Amino acid sequence: MESLEAMLVFAIPLLLAIPFYILGLLDQPSANVIVYSLYIVLSIAVTKHNRRTLGEIGITRAQLLPCLGNSVVLVLASLATRYMGADLRLSPDLSSWQAVVYNLFFWSLSGTGQEIVFRGLILFSLDRWKGWKVALTVSSVLFGLVHLLRYPSLLAMALEIILGVAWGWMTLNYRNVLGPIVAHSLFNFMFSFALIS
Protein backbone atom coordinates (compact mmCIF):
# COMPACT_ATOMS: atom_id res chain seq x y z
CA MET A 1 0.00 0.00 0.00
CA GLU A 2 2.86 2.39 0.82
CA SER A 3 4.37 1.91 -2.63
CA LEU A 4 1.01 2.66 -4.28
CA GLU A 5 0.73 5.81 -2.17
CA ALA A 6 4.26 6.79 -3.23
CA MET A 7 3.32 6.39 -6.90
CA LEU A 8 0.24 8.54 -6.34
CA VAL A 9 2.38 11.23 -4.70
CA PHE A 10 4.50 11.17 -7.87
CA ALA A 11 1.59 11.18 -10.34
CA ILE A 12 -1.10 13.41 -8.82
CA PRO A 13 0.84 16.71 -8.79
CA LEU A 14 1.86 16.14 -12.41
CA LEU A 15 -1.66 15.23 -13.48
CA LEU A 16 -2.98 18.37 -11.77
CA ALA A 17 -0.37 20.76 -13.17
CA ILE A 18 0.04 19.53 -16.77
CA PRO A 19 -3.49 20.49 -18.00
CA PHE A 20 -3.11 24.02 -16.59
CA TYR A 21 0.32 24.27 -18.23
CA ILE A 22 -0.97 23.02 -21.60
CA LEU A 23 -3.91 25.43 -21.47
CA GLY A 24 -1.52 28.31 -20.78
CA LEU A 25 -2.94 29.00 -17.32
CA LEU A 26 0.43 28.23 -15.68
CA ASP A 27 3.91 29.00 -16.96
CA GLN A 28 6.64 26.40 -16.51
CA PRO A 29 8.31 27.97 -13.44
CA SER A 30 4.95 28.27 -11.65
CA ALA A 31 3.98 24.70 -12.54
CA ASN A 32 7.36 23.46 -11.30
CA VAL A 33 7.04 25.32 -7.99
CA ILE A 34 3.59 23.80 -7.43
CA VAL A 35 4.69 20.26 -8.34
CA TYR A 36 7.91 20.34 -6.28
CA SER A 37 6.16 21.87 -3.27
CA LEU A 38 3.47 19.19 -3.45
CA TYR A 39 6.14 16.49 -3.73
CA ILE A 40 7.73 17.68 -0.50
CA VAL A 41 4.49 18.17 1.47
CA LEU A 42 2.76 15.00 0.24
CA SER A 43 5.87 12.82 0.74
CA ILE A 44 6.14 13.93 4.36
CA ALA A 45 2.36 13.59 4.89
CA VAL A 46 2.29 10.03 3.47
CA THR A 47 5.32 9.09 5.57
CA LYS A 48 3.66 10.41 8.74
CA HIS A 49 0.31 8.84 7.77
CA ASN A 50 2.01 5.45 7.58
CA ARG A 51 3.52 6.01 11.05
CA ARG A 52 7.05 6.08 9.70
CA THR A 53 9.80 8.46 10.72
CA LEU A 54 11.36 10.91 8.30
CA GLY A 55 14.57 8.91 8.74
CA GLU A 56 12.82 6.01 6.99
CA ILE A 57 12.73 8.10 3.81
CA GLY A 58 16.31 9.27 4.30
CA ILE A 59 15.70 12.62 5.98
CA THR A 60 18.29 12.20 8.71
CA ARG A 61 21.67 13.53 9.80
CA ALA A 62 23.11 10.00 10.05
CA GLN A 63 25.77 9.40 7.38
CA LEU A 64 25.27 12.95 6.06
CA LEU A 65 28.93 13.85 5.50
CA PRO A 66 29.96 10.80 3.45
CA CYS A 67 26.72 10.93 1.48
CA LEU A 68 27.11 14.66 0.82
CA GLY A 69 30.77 14.24 -0.12
CA ASN A 70 30.09 11.49 -2.64
CA SER A 71 27.10 13.37 -4.06
CA VAL A 72 29.15 16.53 -4.58
CA VAL A 73 31.93 14.49 -6.23
CA LEU A 74 29.29 13.32 -8.74
CA VAL A 75 28.37 16.95 -9.47
CA LEU A 76 32.03 17.90 -9.92
CA ALA A 77 32.57 14.94 -12.25
CA SER A 78 29.54 16.06 -14.29
CA LEU A 79 30.92 19.59 -14.37
CA ALA A 80 34.31 18.38 -15.62
CA THR A 81 32.68 16.15 -18.25
CA ARG A 82 30.37 18.88 -19.53
CA TYR A 83 33.14 21.46 -19.46
CA MET A 84 35.25 19.28 -21.75
CA GLY A 85 32.32 18.54 -24.06
CA ALA A 86 30.89 22.04 -24.39
CA ASP A 87 31.98 25.64 -24.38
CA LEU A 88 30.65 26.45 -20.91
CA ARG A 89 30.90 29.99 -19.58
CA LEU A 90 29.32 31.95 -16.78
CA SER A 91 25.84 33.30 -17.41
CA PRO A 92 25.58 37.09 -17.69
CA ASP A 93 22.60 36.81 -15.31
CA LEU A 94 25.07 36.09 -12.50
CA SER A 95 25.60 39.85 -12.26
CA SER A 96 22.01 40.27 -11.01
CA TRP A 97 21.61 39.30 -7.36
CA GLN A 98 17.86 39.04 -7.83
CA ALA A 99 18.31 36.48 -10.60
CA VAL A 100 20.86 34.54 -8.56
CA VAL A 101 18.65 34.44 -5.44
CA TYR A 102 15.54 33.49 -7.42
CA ASN A 103 17.32 30.72 -9.34
CA LEU A 104 19.08 29.41 -6.24
CA PHE A 105 15.70 29.16 -4.51
CA PHE A 106 13.99 27.67 -7.57
CA TRP A 107 16.63 25.03 -8.25
CA SER A 108 16.95 24.18 -4.56
CA LEU A 109 13.20 23.59 -4.43
CA SER A 110 13.50 21.45 -7.57
CA GLY A 111 16.32 19.33 -6.14
CA THR A 112 14.57 18.95 -2.80
CA GLY A 113 11.20 18.00 -4.29
CA GLN A 114 12.62 15.48 -6.74
CA GLU A 115 14.97 13.84 -4.26
CA ILE A 116 12.34 13.51 -1.54
CA VAL A 117 9.80 11.90 -3.86
CA PHE A 118 12.14 9.75 -6.03
CA ARG A 119 15.01 8.87 -3.71
CA GLY A 120 13.07 9.23 -0.47
CA LEU A 121 9.47 8.11 -0.64
CA ILE A 122 9.44 5.93 -3.80
CA LEU A 123 12.89 4.35 -3.38
CA PHE A 124 12.47 3.40 0.28
CA SER A 125 8.83 2.24 0.01
CA LEU A 126 9.69 0.01 -2.96
CA ASP A 127 12.84 -1.19 -1.18
CA ARG A 128 10.73 -2.37 1.77
CA TRP A 129 8.22 -4.04 -0.58
CA LYS A 130 10.21 -5.48 -3.50
CA GLY A 131 13.90 -5.05 -2.63
CA TRP A 132 16.63 -2.62 -3.61
CA LYS A 133 17.00 -3.68 -7.27
CA VAL A 134 13.36 -3.03 -8.14
CA ALA A 135 13.36 0.13 -6.02
CA LEU A 136 16.47 1.55 -7.69
CA THR A 137 15.25 0.65 -11.19
CA VAL A 138 11.71 2.02 -10.82
CA SER A 139 12.71 5.24 -9.04
CA SER A 140 15.46 5.95 -11.59
CA VAL A 141 13.23 5.27 -14.62
CA LEU A 142 10.49 7.52 -13.19
CA PHE A 143 13.13 10.19 -12.57
CA GLY A 144 14.21 9.92 -16.22
CA LEU A 145 10.62 9.98 -17.50
CA VAL A 146 9.69 13.13 -15.58
CA HIS A 147 12.63 14.90 -17.22
CA LEU A 148 11.15 14.17 -20.67
CA LEU A 149 8.75 17.05 -19.96
CA ARG A 150 11.71 19.45 -19.88
CA TYR A 151 14.18 17.72 -22.23
CA PRO A 152 12.25 15.75 -24.87
CA SER A 153 15.11 13.50 -25.93
CA LEU A 154 15.81 9.82 -25.30
CA LEU A 155 19.51 10.56 -24.77
CA ALA A 156 18.69 13.18 -22.13
CA MET A 157 16.28 10.75 -20.47
CA ALA A 158 18.95 8.02 -20.44
CA LEU A 159 21.44 10.41 -18.83
CA GLU A 160 18.86 11.36 -16.18
CA ILE A 161 18.22 7.66 -15.48
CA ILE A 162 21.97 7.11 -15.01
CA LEU A 163 22.14 10.10 -12.69
CA GLY A 164 19.10 8.73 -10.83
CA VAL A 165 20.82 5.37 -10.39
CA ALA A 166 23.95 7.06 -9.00
CA TRP A 167 22.04 9.21 -6.51
CA GLY A 168 19.71 6.32 -5.68
CA TRP A 169 22.66 4.04 -4.97
CA MET A 170 24.16 6.65 -2.63
CA THR A 171 20.81 7.12 -0.90
CA LEU A 172 20.42 3.38 -0.35
CA ASN A 173 24.03 2.94 0.72
CA TYR A 174 23.98 5.74 3.30
CA ARG A 175 20.21 5.66 4.06
CA ASN A 176 20.35 9.43 3.66
CA VAL A 177 18.68 11.64 1.06
CA LEU A 178 20.04 14.98 2.31
CA GLY A 179 23.37 14.62 0.49
CA PRO A 180 21.66 14.04 -2.87
CA ILE A 181 19.28 16.94 -2.14
CA VAL A 182 22.18 19.38 -1.73
CA ALA A 183 24.07 17.95 -4.72
CA HIS A 184 20.98 17.85 -6.95
CA SER A 185 20.17 21.47 -6.08
CA LEU A 186 23.77 22.48 -6.86
CA PHE A 187 23.69 20.49 -10.12
CA ASN A 188 20.43 22.17 -11.21
CA PHE A 189 21.67 25.64 -10.30
CA MET A 190 24.99 25.19 -12.10
CA PHE A 191 23.70 23.60 -15.29
CA SER A 192 20.34 25.35 -15.58
CA PHE A 193 21.36 28.87 -14.63
CA ALA A 194 24.99 29.64 -13.72
CA LEU A 195 26.71 27.97 -16.69
CA ILE A 196 25.64 28.31 -20.31
CA SER A 197 27.14 26.97 -23.52
Summarize the confidence of residues 184-192 as an average pLDDT. 88
* Number of domains observed in the structure of the chain: 1
Q: Where in the sequence is the domain holding 139, given as residue range(s)? A: 2-196
122-146: pLDDT as tens digits? 999 999 999 999 999 999 999 999 8
> Which carries the bigger pLDDT value, residue 24 or residue 47?
47
In the chain, the percentage of residues whose pLDDT exceeds 90 is: 58
Q: Using H for helix, E for strand and C for coil, what is the string for the chain? A: CHHHHHHHHHHHHHHHHHHHHHCCCCCHHHHHHHHHHHHHHHHHHHHHHCCCCHHHHCCCCCCHHHHHHHHHHHHHHHHHHHHHHCCCEECHHHHCHHHHHHHHHHHHHHHHHHHHHHHHHHHHHHHHHHCHHHHHHHHHHHHHHHHHHCCCCHHHHHHHHHHHHHHHHHHHHHCCCHHHHHHHHHHHHHHHHHEEC
Per-residue pLDDT band at 98 (split at 50, 70, 90): confident
